[in-house]
Amino acid sequence: MTDAAILERAKVWLSGNYDDATKTAVQQLIDAQSDELADSFYRNLEFGTGGLRGIMGVGTNRMNKYTVGMATQGFANYLKKNFPGQEVKVAIAHDSRNNSRFFAETTANVFAANGIKVFLFDALRPTPELSFAIRTLGCKAGVVCTASHNPKEYNGYKAYWDDGAQLVPPHDKNVIKEVEAIASVDEVKWSGGESLITIIGKEMDDLYTEMVKGLSVYPEVIKQQHDLKIVYTPIHGSGIMLVPKVLQAFGFTNVTVVEEQATPDGNFPTVAYPNPEESETMSIGLNKAKAMDADILLGTDPDADRVGVGVKNHKGEWVLMNGNQTLILAFAYLIEARKTKGIAQPNDIAVSTIVSTEMARVLSEKNNVHYYSVLTGFKWIASLIKEKEGKENYVIGGEESFGLMIGDKVRDKDSVSAVALLCEMAAYEKAKGRTLFDKLIDLYIQYGFYYENLISITKKGMNGQKEIADMMEGYRSNPPVTINGSKVVELLDYELQTGKNLQTGESWKIELPKSNVLQFITEDGSKISARPSGTEPKIKFYFSVKTELHDKAEFDAKFAELEGRIKGIISDMQLK
C-alpha cells in the first residue's frame, strides 16, 4: 500500500465517530511521519482462526476499542444467524494485560447491545476457566481478552464456540467473513443492552476447583506427601486467582508463591517475555526453589494456559523441562495410574500434535491406549474429543508448547489442572525416594530417548509475512536432499495434504485439515517441522531426534549426542 493510501486510511479516523483521544493520537502519528503510521494503518488487524492479536494503539492494524468492537459485532452477527430464535449466551474473561479489562467490558457491551446474554467475570481469570464456564453455563460462545505469552505491548481476543473450544471449521472461516463484512465503526452497536450482563466469579471458581480436584488419581499419596515443597510463580498473570486455591484443595500445605511475580501487572516488570518457556522468565522462581531446596517449581503464563516446570535432575542440579518432557511425564502418569487403579478403559485415547514428540505415540500404543495426532493447537484436540464423544474415552492431550489438557471438562490447554497433577506426580515419585527427572530417564530407557527443541525466526514489519511465505515456498518447491548428513526420506506437506516417500516416489493423502506445515523425516529418524505462526510474523522450526538409552549412566553422553545433532541440523539448514 502506498504512503498516500495509508494516509487516507488514517484520515478516516480523524473525521469519523472516534473519541477525541484517539483522534489526537492519530494526528500525532501523521505529524511525526514515522514508520509507526504505516504499520498502524497499512491493513486491518486480521481476525484469524483464533481471533485477534496485535500491538495496542490507534489504527486499523492495532488492538483498540474500535477493532475489538468491530470484531465483536461480526461475531455477534454470526451467532444470531447460527442460532435463530434461540437464547444466545456468551461468557467473557480476561487476563492481567494492560487494557484487558477494558477490552472485555467493550466486548460485553457490544454483545449485550445485540441482544445476547453475557456472563462477564468480575476480574481477571485463567483462560481454562473461561472454557469451563462456557460449558457449565450452556453458552453458545465465549471470548477471553489476552495475548497469552506475548510481550507487554500486545493484547488479543480469543474466540470460543459452544463446546468450550476455540473456533474450528466451519465456524472459524464463517466468523472471519462476518467480521470482515463490518466496514465501519458506525455498524457497531456499542451500548444499550447493559441489563443483559451478569457478573460471575467465586461460584464458578468453586465449581472449577471441584472439577480439577476430581482429576486426582492418588489422593492418598498427597495426604502422605502433603508438605511437598512447591514453588509457584504466576508471572504477574491470572494464575494467582486459582492455582494456590486448587493446590490447597488437592491437599498440598507447603506452597510458596514467588512474591516478586505474584501481583497481576500488565507491564510484567520482572521479565522481558511473560512466557514460562523462557529460562530468563523462570529464573526468579528457580533461584527461590534452589534457596528453599524445593521439590518442584511451576510457572504459568499471563492467561494461565501454559505451564513451565523446574525439577532437580539426576545430579541434583535444577533444570527446566521442555514442553515435550512435561507432556511425556503427564501421559505416562495418567496412563500407568489408570492401569494400576483398575480404571483404564479399552477405549481410552491420548492425543497430541504433529509437531510434538513421537514418544507420546510410542508410550501410548505400548500401553494399549489409542493415540491420535492432530494439527497444532488445542482446538484440534478438542475437535477430536467432540468427534469421538460417546465412542472413545479421552484421557489426556498435550503439545510441545507447554500445554496439557487433562480430562474433557475444559476444551483448551489448562495450566491450573496441569500444575495440580504435576505436583501430585512429584509427590508420587517422592514417596518412592525419586524425582520426576528420575522417572523421565526411566521412560527414556523404556520407550527410546527422544529429544526435541525449536527455534523461532521473526520477520517484522510489512514485508515480514511475505518473507516467511517465500521461505515456505522455497522448502516446498525445492526440499533439502539431506539434512545434517542424513538423507531426507519423507516429505509431509500438510497444506497440500500429501505425504511422499522420496526414496520410492510413493505418495499418500494426509487425513487432516489443511495447514501450512512442512515436515522432513530423515533416514536417522530425525523429524524437522517448519510452521509459520498464525498470530505473529514468525516461523517456527521444530527438531526431534532420537537414540536408544540402555542405562542411566549413559544419559549425559547420549543427551550431548542428541543436542549436537540438533545443533548440526540448525547449522546445516542455515537457520541461525
We report the CATH number of the domain holding residue 176 as: 3.40.120.10
Exposure letters 207-244 (e unless 16+ CB within 10 A, then b): bbbebbeebbbbeebbeebeebbbbbbbbbbbbbbbbb
What is the predicted pLDDT for the residue at 3? 84
392 shares its domain with 318: yes
Identify any residues that bridge with 531 across adjacent strands, giving them in sequence order: 540
Residue 114: which pLDDT band, with cuts at 50, 70 and 90?
very high
State yes or no: pLDDT of 252 exceeds 80: yes
One domain for residues 162 and 224: no
Same-domain pairing of 213 and 115:
no
- Name every residue whose Cβ is closer than 8 Å to that of residue 359 and which is 6 or more positions away in sequence: 324, 328, 443, 447, 448, 450, 546
pLDDT at residue number 536? 67
Same domain, 456 and 443: no
210/208 Cα distance (integer angstroms): 5
Is 148 labeled as catalytic in the residue annotation? yes
- CA atoms of 418 and 426, how far apart (whole Å): 12
- Residue 403 within a domain: yes
pLDDT for 90 equals: 98
Helix (H/G/I), strand (E/B), else coil: 321:
strand
Radius of gyration of the chain (CA): 24
Boundary residue ending a domain (173, 200, 227): 200
**Does some domain include residue 14?**
no
Regarding whether 456 and 395 lie in a shared domain, the answer is no
Q: What is the mean pLDDT of residues 254-283?
A: 97
Q: What is the pLDDT of residues 431-473, one digit of tens each?
A: 999 999 999 999 999 999 999 999 999 887 667 888 898 999 9
pLDDT digit string (tens) for 190-249? 999 999 999 999 999 999 999 999 999 999 999 999 999 999 999 999 999 999 999 999
Of 412, 447, 482, which residue is a domain's last?
447
In a domain, 31, yes or no: no
What is d(CA 260, CA 338) in angstroms, rounded to the nearest whole number? 38
Which of 148, 352, 364, 526 is labelled catalytic?
A: 148
Burial class (CB in 10 A: 0-12, 13-18, 19+), 378: buried
Helix (H) or strand (E) holding 231: strand 230-233
Same domain, 239 and 119: no
* pLDDT recorded at residue 62: 97
pTM, two decimal places: 0.95
Lay out the sheet containing 197-200: strands in order across.
51-55, 154-161, 141-145, 89-94, 117-121, 197-200
Tens of pLDDT along 38-79? Answer: 999 999 998 988 899 999 999 999 999 999 999 999 999 999
Q: pLDDT at position 519, please?
A: 97
Structural domain includes residue 36 = no
Q: Are 192 and 111 in the same domain? A: yes
By CB atoms closer than 10 A (0-12, 13-18, 19+), residue 102 is middle
Claim to verify: residue 549 and residue 424 sit in the same structural domain = no
Count of Cβ atoms closer than 10 Å to residue 503 Cβ: 11
Looking only at the bridges linking them, the beta strands covering 348-353 and 393-399 are: parallel
Residues 423 and 457 in one domain: no
Label residue 137 exposed, middle or buried (CB < 10 Å: 0-12, 13-18, 19+): middle
- Compute the distance between CA of residue 199 and CA of residue 123 in angstroms, rounded to an integer: 9
| Residue 534: pLDDT band with limits 50, 70, 90 | low
- Write the Ramachandran bin of 193: left for phi over 0, alpha for psi from -120 to 50, otherwise beta: alpha
Q: What is the Cα–Cα distance from 195 to 313, expressed in whole angstroms?
A: 55
pLDDT of amino acid 535: 59
438-460 burial, b for 16+ CB within 10 Å, e for fewer? bbbbebbbebbbbbbbbeebebe
| Number of residues that this document lists for the chain | 576
Q: In the listed set 447, 476, 493, which residue is the last one of a domain according to the structure? A: 447
For residue 19, being part of any structural domain is answered with: no
Residue 30 falls within a domain, yes or no? no
pLDDT at 459: 84
Q: Domain of 515: which CATH number?
A: 3.30.310
* Residue with the larger pLDDT of the pair 460 and 322: 322
Cβ–Cβ under 8 Å, residues 95 and 237: yes
Asked whether residue 468 falls in the same domain as residue 430, the answer is no
* Nearest alpha carbon to residue 414 among 330, 356, 341: 330
Q: Where would I find the beta strands (DSSP E) of 348-479?
A: 348-353, 370-374, 393-399, 403-406, 449-458
DSSP string, 414-425: -HHHHHHHHHHH
Determine contact, residues 545/451, Cβ cutoff 8 Å.
yes
**Beta sheet of 255-257, edge-to-edge order:** 255-257, 230-233, 296-300, 307-312, 318-321
Mean pLDDT of 162-175: 95
In a domain, 469, yes or no: yes
Q: Answer whether residue 1 shows pLDDT above 90.
A: no
* Residues 81, 86: Cα–Cα separation, whole Å: 10
**Residue 160, all three cell numbers:** 470460543
pLDDT band at residue 515 using 50, 70 and 90 as cut-offs: very high
Q: Within a 10 A sphere around the Cβ of 562, how many other Cβ atoms?
A: 21
Chain mean position to CA 212: 19
Q: What percent of the chain has pLDDT over 90?
A: 93
Give the separation between CA 428 and CA 413, rounded to whole angstroms: 23
Residue 55 C-alpha cell reads as 500491538
Would you state the cell numbers that stand for residue 66, as one nine-digit string?
A: 474500535
| Domain extent at residue 500 | 451-572
Q: Could you count the other beta carbons within 10 Å of the beta carbon of residue 253?
A: 11
Answer left, alpha or beta for residue 99, where phi above 0 means left and psi between -120 and 50 means alpha.
left
Number of domains in the chain: 3
Domain-embedded: residue 13? no
Same domain, yes or no, for 396 and 261? yes
Q: Which residues of 49-85 are buried (b: 16+ CB within 10 A; e: fewer)?
A: bbbbbbbbbbbbbbbbbbbbbbbbbbbbbbbbebeee
Given a contact cutoff of 8 angstroms between Cβ atoms, the answer to whether 461 and 39 are in contact is yes
Q: Rounded mean pLDDT of 369-373?
A: 98
Using DSSP's 3-state secondary structure scheme, residue 561 falls into helix
Residue 486: strand pairing partners: 483
| CA–CA distance, 378 with 399 (Å, rounded to integer) | 8
Asked if 300 and 417 sit in the same domain, the reply is yes
